[in-house]
Amino acid sequence: MVAAVLSNKIEVLRFHSALITSSLESINSELLIVGPIDNAGTFGKQFRHIIDIRKCHLDALKNGILDFYRKDIDRSLENNKQELLEELTRILEEICAEVSLYNTQRLEERWIDCTPSVRYVEESNRKISPLQAIGLLIEHEIFHEGELALYFKSENLKFPKNWITWGLI
């Protein structure tokens, strides 16, 4: 049962990651510096932020602490399409590998401390399970799909074919 649940979480995460990756693949590098929506950052910043949050969740799954206040943010990624693509893929693969290490006992015994990031999660979620952490990451990916959809619409860009999921092509 646990293996099936974890496998499903990985499948869902990969699905949403593919939407994000295809959106980056489909734009010209010059668009990375464009911020089509006021106060929402550039295309490049959106993708770099997605990488940062994936790293936070990877660390949480490995070390048991979810901390969104990263010190290792690499803003130079924002203007380099190839590096963004490589990092999106690399971090996703690390997350999937880490999740695949979980079993029933580890899921039941492991709790993730969200105290450093309680401002961004509900107060009642100071400690969450690994499954909840994966769920939060999936929710975050979906949120950014919505932002990217607004960016694409604002710039009159053609959506990648896999975005048919959202009825946008």
Contact 5, 108 (CB under 8 A): no
Give tens-digit pLDDT for 77-102: 999 999 999 999 999 999 999 998 88
Over 80: is that where the pLDDT of 52 sits? yes
What was the pLDDT predicted at 156?
Answer: 96
Over 90: is that where the pLDDT of 69 sits? no
- Select 2-166's CATH number: 1.10.1740.10, 3.40.50.620, 1.20.120.450, 1.25.40.10: 1.20.120.450
What was the pLDDT predicted at 78?
Answer: 94
What was the pLDDT predicted at 169?
Answer: 76
| pTM of the shown model | 0.92
Looking up tokens 């994000």 gives 20
144 is written with which tokens?
């950014």
Any idea where the domains of the chain sit in the sequence?
2-166
Contact 18, 100 (CB under 8 A): no
Confidence of residue 105 (pLDDT cuts 50, 70, 90): confident
What was the pLDDT predicted at 108?
Answer: 78
Q: Which whole number is the average pLDDT over 23-44?
A: 94
Mean pLDDT of the chain: 91
- Residue 31's CB is within 10 A of a number of other CB atoms, namely 18
What was the pLDDT predicted at 107?
Answer: 76
Give tens-digit pLDDT for 126-161: 888 899 999 999 999 999 999 999 999 999 999 999
Q: Which whole number is the average pLDDT over 19-44?
A: 95
C-alpha–C-alpha distance, residues 10 and 95, integer Å: 9
Over 80: is that where the pLDDT of 27 sits? yes
Q: Which whole number is the average pLDDT over 15-29?
A: 97
Give the DSSP H or E segment for 127.
strand 127-128
